[in-house]
Amino acid sequence: MATFGWVAAGRDPPWQWDLQRLGWTLCAGEGHCGHVLLIDARGLAAGEREAIAAAAGRAWRLLMLGVEQPDERAALLTLGCAEVLPSDAGLRELEARARRVDEMFGMLPRWRAVGPLTLDLFHRDARRGGRWLALHPREFGVLWRLADVPGKRVTKGQLLREVWRLNHEPETNSVEVHVSRLRSKLAEFGCGRLVATDPAGGYRLIDGPSSTLAAEAAEEDALDACLRCHRPWPAEAALEGG
């Protein structure tokens, strides 16, 4: 049975957003949560919404409700919210989006630690600390694929099949161009030697994931944030754990 959390001034979700009506279970915020988290943002200032969405990437399964302006919804999605909906969003739409987010994060790990970088599968980008590299989707695809087998060679043919979705080798040097651009962006963040050209052809990751501990720590941060957010406003208390 699907579970969701609720964050707002009121203890219970309003009728139009109460997923319990469709068979979901409302979490009380006890224990280690790993579920969709709904937040009623109608009473919050824009800066408070941004602070919640940007809180160290903790908005991994967060659906923010009651944001009317399209530009603000887009900005909140970029900062980390899984979904952002206006006040007129109905229960069926909310459930469809909540279920999609829940299923998406159940299939694959969202984060990978690659040296000093954190790869975010949901945003298809990498960040160092709070700064995003702004990777092109294929640049991210190359980096994510190399992180599958850190230290081992991945051939150009494998990248074409698995990142470009091509079963033939095109006449262009698209792989080389994207790898070159990826290296330039990595260099700007002090990670220029992360992707190496293998002597036998193809590429490999020099500094792979330090261990599963970094990924587990990222998950624990998200879970702890979920627990903190299972408390009423003011928003500052939710963010600071007070």
Structure tokens at 4: 């969701």
pLDDT digits (tens, 9 = 90+) for 69-98: 999 999 888 777 889 999 999 999 999 999
Domain 3-108+217-240 has CATH 3.40.50: yes
Helix 70-79 to helix 46-53 angle (10° resolution) is 30
pLDDT tens for 217-235 read 444 444 444 545 454 444 4
- Percent of the chain at pLDDT > 70 equals 76
pLDDT exceeds cutoff 80 at 148: yes
d(CA 54, CA 69) in angstroms, rounded, equals 18
pLDDT in tens, 1-12: 688 888 887 668
Report pTM.
0.51
Closest CA to 225 of 18, 65, 64, 7: 7
SS3 53: helix
Please write the tens of the pLDDT for every residue from 162-219: 999 887 777 778 999 999 999 999 999 999 889 999 999 999 998 644 433 344 444 4
Q: What is the pLDDT of residue 19?
A: 94
Is domain 116-205 in CATH 3.40.50.2300, yes or no?
no
pLDDT at 224: 47
Whether the CB-CB separation of 76 and 53 falls below 8 Å is answered with yes
Which tokens in the block code for residue 221?
A: 């941060």
| Predicted local distance difference test score (pLDDT) of residue 138 | 94
Phi, psi of 18 (to 5 degrees): -85, 100
Domain with CATH 3.40.50 in the chain: 3-108+217-240
Give me the pLDDT at residue 123, please.
81
Which segments of the chain belong to CATH 1.10.10.10?
Answer: 116-205
